[in-house]
């Protein structure tokens, strides 16, 4: 399932609240762009766990899985499928 | 003969006497002293072929990189270790300023196999540098850098003798020798590695390398401490907060020494930290890259304030009033400190060392910029700064420099950077900018990320079209902005 819109809304509200959701593309590198860093990623992961009811104990939380909104969307699919 | 770093000779001796003793533990697999020495020799052979001069090593944390750094030291090269997280242009600027003749990277194929160590010469500069040597005649081993919140990190040369003195102190204090396991959480370019990595290898213990890819995964870090039977842990407060948040009520019984360093630890978190490490002595250590560790204070139960502590052996400290005179009794002054481990001075910037204000000795004192209160009983407590530097996630960040980077963008009219305390991170950096309407926070975040180290990239960046609040004297009212930020976050 495609969660791109929900993720984009969250990232925009939390980190770049002055922009419109259409200004953040799903392939934008959130780390290189300074939108999130390793610490902010903890917040994103907390949110993912709650919002999508994922159990994140046994999944690889490498920043590379969260570099873009597309990556995060794919991560939800993978983490959800493991349950 | 002058004292010089014995890290490489000691490593080779450990390899001769106990080749299978573990030197490093990486992703669950040990690298023995014999294997590490072989990799070191192989790296040294490559380095020896390069034109004379300092070399830069890409500080990606792997056993191969550790061996490469050792190989450079073995070949008598000064090693520049730029942070892996610095913007590309900043790193090439550092290479130029240090006069590096080559940029080296170790093959990170994860095999930790001596035969497979490949040293990649990423870049060789045609002409050897004519860069001036530091004033001090001592041989320089490491070229570390300050965090570079201004976008221009300063290069901090550390002499071989300073590294050796520090390693000897660290081994005596924490026992880093055979049979001991020491966590390395910090990136390889950090000054903390002088104890965790280079000091431990000097002494014959085993360095347990924390995987940077799981650096914020508290559960994985707890697992690592328990599974690898770690004895000594040194890290910034954020690390301990990650552990405490990961598994409530967790205990790590094997650790006997815990060092909290790099940032202020909250005294109210002390009971939880002591419960996490029930068998450990916990110390708060104060220091900086320029002087290395300077003070230590044991964190016993019931502390309500955490003092800087008492000077380490050979360290002297002064408090100096605003008028430049030495403060002898209780009061507040800037902390000046001199240590046996300190740098001879920045490589290419005016240094922050000064002589004793009263001429009482011939030592060179480092102006820390920290405002310190001496109480009636002689305790030293950190009060604040003489400048706009703050600690963000264990790294010094100059908020004025962050504001300047933002003001350099043509669309930004005003900028104010403030720090707000955060339970998990200690401090977070918050920025408010007034723009001309042509830029948004997405553009400005990228602008910052390309010019500043990660700790200096704002956690929140608010864009406003209204003028920033000003004090009656016309300065940006940072106090008002801080209060407002604390309310909304």
Q: Does A32 score more than 70 pLDDT? A: yes
Which residues in chain B are closer than 8 Å to A16, comparing Cβ atoms?
Answer: 440-442, 445, 461
One-character DSSP codes across B295-311:
EEEE--TT-SS----EE
What is the pLDDT confidence band of residue B124, given thresholds at 50, 70 and 90? low
Say which residue, B83 or B299, is predicted with more confidence. B299
Helix and strand element counts for chain B (H, E): 13, 26
What is the number of other CB atoms lying within 10 angstroms of the CB of residue B137? 9
User: Measuring CA to CA, how many Å separate B138 from each of B162, B257, B338?
Assistant: 9, 33, 17
> B486 touching A, CB under 8 A?
no
What is the pLDDT confidence band of residue B285, given thresholds at 50, 70 and 90? very high
pLDDT tens, B94-114?
999 999 999 998 875 544 333
What is the pLDDT confidence band of residue B293, given thresholds at 50, 70 and 90? very high
One-character DSSP codes across B129-163:
P-PPPPSS-SPEEEEEE---TTSSPPEEEEEHHHH
> Measuring CA to CA, which residue among B137, B143, B153, B196 is closest to residue B171?
B196
What are A55's two structure tokens?
Answer: 């159990």
pLDDT of residue B108: 56
Residue that has been written with the tokens 């347990």 in this structure: B208
- Residue B251's Cβ-count burial label (10 Å; 0-12, 13-18, 19+) is middle
> B424 touching A, CB under 8 A?
yes
Contact B43, B67 (CB under 8 A): yes
Highest-pLDDT range among A21-25, B149-153, B400-404, B419-423: A21-25
pLDDT of residue B86: 82
Distance CA B159, CA B146 (A): 16
Which residues in chain A are closer than 8 Å to B450, comparing Cβ atoms?
Answer: 34
Closest approach of B373 to chain A, Cα-based (Å): 32
Lowest mean pLDDT among B31-45, B135-149, B353-367: B135-149
Contact B253, B227 (CB under 8 A): no
What are B294's two structure tokens?
Answer: 């300077």
Query: B389-488 adopts what CATH topology?
Result: GMP Synthetase; Chain A, domain 3 (3.30.300)
What are B320's two structure tokens?
Answer: 């100096």
Lowest mean pLDDT among B30-34, B194-198, B356-360, B387-391: B387-391
Distance CA B102, CA B89 (A): 16
Three-state SS annotation for chain A: CCCHHHHHHHHHHHHCCCCCHHHCCCCCCCCCCCCCCHHHHHHHHHHHHHHCCCCCCCCCCCHHHHCCHHHHHHHHHHHHHCC
CB-nearest to B425 from A16, A31, A39 is A39
Q: Does A69 score more than 90 pLDDT? A: yes
What is the number of other CB atoms lying within 10 angstroms of the CB of residue B138? 17
Contact B414, B368 (CB under 8 A): no
pLDDT of residue B279: 98
- Contact B446/A39, CB-based, under 8 Å? no
> B299 touching A, CB under 8 A?
no
One-character DSSP codes across B168-224:
HHHHHHH--STT-EEEE-S-TTSTTHIIIIIIHHHHT-EEEEPPGGGTT-HHHHHHH
For range B102-131, the mean pLDDT: 58
Q: How many beta-carbon pairs below 8 A join chains A and B?
A: 58
Among B449, B452, B488, most A C-beta atoms within 10 A, so best to mutate, is B449
pLDDT tens, B227-252?
999 999 999 988 998 999 899 899 99
User: Would you list which residues of chain A are within 8 Å, Cβ to Cβ, of chain B?
Assistant: 15-19, 23-24, 31-35, 37-42, 57, 61-63
Residue of B nearest to A33 (CA): B446
- Contact B442/A38, CB-based, under 8 Å? no
Share of chain B above pLDDT 70, in %: 91
Contact B40, B7 (CB under 8 A): no
> Measuring CA to CA, which residue among B188, B189, B105 is closest to residue B147?
B189
Say which residue, B108 or A48, is predicted with more confidence. A48
CB-nearest to A40 from B447, B459, B463 is B459
pLDDT of residue B482: 82
What is the number of other CB atoms lying within 10 angstroms of the CB of residue B88? 8
For range B124-153, the mean pLDDT: 63
Which residues in chain B are closer than 8 Å to A15, comparing Cβ atoms?
Answer: 441, 445, 460
Pairing of strands B181-184, B353-355: unpaired
- Contact A34/B445, CB-based, under 8 Å? yes
Distance CA B64, CA B62 (A): 5
- Contact A16/B215, CB-based, under 8 Å? no
Say which residue, A55 or B144, is predicted with more confidence. B144
pLDDT tens, B2-13?
678 899 999 999
Which residues in chain A are closer than 8 Å to B461, comparing Cβ atoms?
Answer: 16
pLDDT of residue B278: 97
- Contact B216/A57, CB-based, under 8 Å? no
Lowest mean pLDDT among B49-63, B250-264, B290-304, B382-396: B382-396
> B454 touching A, CB under 8 A?
yes
Q: Does B131 score more than 60 pLDDT? A: no
Closest approach of B167 to chain A, Cα-based (Å): 31
- Contact A38/B454, CB-based, under 8 Å? yes
Which residues in chain A are closer than 8 Å to B223, comparing Cβ atoms?
Answer: none
Domains detected in chain A: 4-81 (1.10.1200.10)
Rounded mean pLDDT of chain B?
88
CB-nearest to B215 from A16, A23, A38 is A38
For range B32-50, the mean pLDDT: 94
- Sorted by where each begins, the domain ranges of chain B are 7-215, 389-488
Say which residue, B481 or B274, is predicted with more confidence. B274
- Contact B449/A34, CB-based, under 8 Å? yes
pLDDT of residue B114: 37
Tell me if the pTM is above 0.90.
Answer: no
Distance CA B78, CA B62 (A): 20
For range B166-185, the mean pLDDT: 98
Distance CA B443, CA A35 (A): 10
Backbone angles phi, psi at B139, to 5 degrees: -65, 135
> B219 touching A, CB under 8 A?
yes
Distance CA B4, CA B10 (A): 12
Q: In terms of C-beta distances under 8 Å and separation of at least 24 residues, what long-range contacts does A34-37 make, across chains too?
A: A34/B445, A34/B446, A34/B447, A34/B448, A34/B449, A34/B450, A34/B457, A35/A11, A35/B442, A35/B445, A36/A11, A36/A66, A37/B454, A37/B457
Q: Does A10 score more than 90 pLDDT? A: yes
For range B27-39, the mean pLDDT: 96
ipTM of this model? 0.89
Contact B341, B309 (CB under 8 A): no
> B429 touching A, CB under 8 A?
no
Q: Which CATH class is domain B7-215?
A: alpha beta
Longest pairwise C-alpha distance within chain A = 36
For range B434-445, the mean pLDDT: 94
Which residues in chain B are closer than 8 Å to A27, comparing Cβ atoms?
Answer: none
Residue of B nearest to A61 (CA): B214
């Amino acid at each position: 399932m495609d969660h791109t819109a929900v993720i984009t809304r969250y990232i925009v509200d939390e980190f770049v609240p002055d922009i419109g959701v259409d200004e953040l593309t799903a392939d934008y590198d959130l780390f290189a762009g300074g939108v999130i860093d390793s610490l902010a990623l903890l917040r994103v992961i907390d949110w993912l766990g709650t919002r999508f009811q994922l159990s994140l104990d046994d999944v690889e939380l490498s920043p590379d899985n969260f570099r873009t909104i597309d990556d995060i969307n794919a991560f939800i699919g993978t983490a959800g499928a493991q349950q | 003969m002058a004292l010089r770093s014995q890290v490489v000779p000691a490593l080779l001796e450990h390899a001769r006497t106990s080749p299978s003793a573990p030197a490093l533990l990486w992703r669950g697999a040990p690298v023995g002293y014999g294997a590490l020495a072989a990799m070191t020799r192989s790296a040294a052979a490559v380095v020896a072929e390069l034109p004379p001069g300092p070399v830069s090593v890409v500080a990606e944390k792997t056993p191969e990189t550790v061996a490469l750094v050792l190989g450079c030291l073995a070949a008598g090269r000064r090693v520049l270790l730029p942070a892996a997280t610095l913007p590309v242009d900043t790193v090439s600027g550092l290479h130029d300023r240090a006069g590096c003749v080559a940029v080296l990277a170790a093959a990170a194929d994860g095999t930790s196999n001596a035969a497979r160590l490949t040293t990649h010469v990423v870049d060789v500069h045609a002409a050897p540098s004519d860069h001036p040597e530091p004033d001090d005649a001592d041989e320089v081993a490491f070229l570390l850098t300050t965090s570079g919140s201004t976008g221009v990190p300063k290069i901090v040369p550390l002499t071989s003798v300073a590294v050796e003195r520090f390693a000897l102190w660290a081994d005596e204090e924490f026992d880093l020798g055979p049979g001991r396991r020491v966590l390395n959480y910090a990136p390889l370019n950090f000054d903390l590695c002088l104890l965790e990595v280079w000091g431990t290898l000097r002494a014959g213990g085993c360095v347990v390398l924390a995987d940077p890819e799981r650096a914020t995964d508290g559960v994985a870090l707890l697992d690592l401490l328990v599974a690898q039977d770690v004895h000594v842990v040194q890290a910034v407060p954020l690390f301990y907060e990650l552990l405490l948040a990961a598994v409530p009520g967790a205990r790590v019984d094997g650790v006997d020494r815990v060092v909290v360093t790099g940032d202020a630890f909250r005294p109210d978190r002390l009971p939880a930290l002591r419960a996490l490490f029930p068998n450990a002595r916990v110390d708060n250590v104060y220091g900086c890259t320029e002087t290395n560790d300077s003070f230590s204070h044991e964190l016993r139960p019931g502390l309500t304030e955490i003092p800087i502590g008492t000077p380490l052996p050979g360290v002297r400290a002064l408090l100096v009033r605003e008028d430049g005179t030495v403060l002898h009794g209780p009061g507040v002054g800037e902390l000046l400190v001199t240590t046996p481990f300190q740098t001879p001075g920045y490589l290419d910037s005016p240094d922050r060392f000064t002589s004793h204000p009263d001429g009482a000795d011939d030592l060179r004192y480092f102006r820390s910029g920290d405002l310190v209160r001496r109480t009636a009983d002689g305790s030293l407590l950190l009060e604040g700064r003489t400048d706009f530097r703050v600690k963000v996630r264990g790294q010094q960040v100059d908020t004025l420099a962050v504001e300047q980077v933002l003001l350099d963008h043509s669309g930004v009219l005003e900028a104010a950077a403030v720090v707000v305390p955060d339970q998990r991170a200690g401090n977070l950096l918050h920025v408010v900018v007034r723009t001309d309407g042509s830029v948004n926070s997405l553009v400005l975040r990228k602008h910052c990320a390309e010019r500043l180290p990660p700790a200096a990239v704002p956690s929140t960046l608010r864009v406003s079209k209204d003028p920033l609040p000003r004090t009656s004297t016309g300065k940006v009212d940072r106090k008002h902005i801080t209060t407002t930020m604390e309310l909304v976050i």
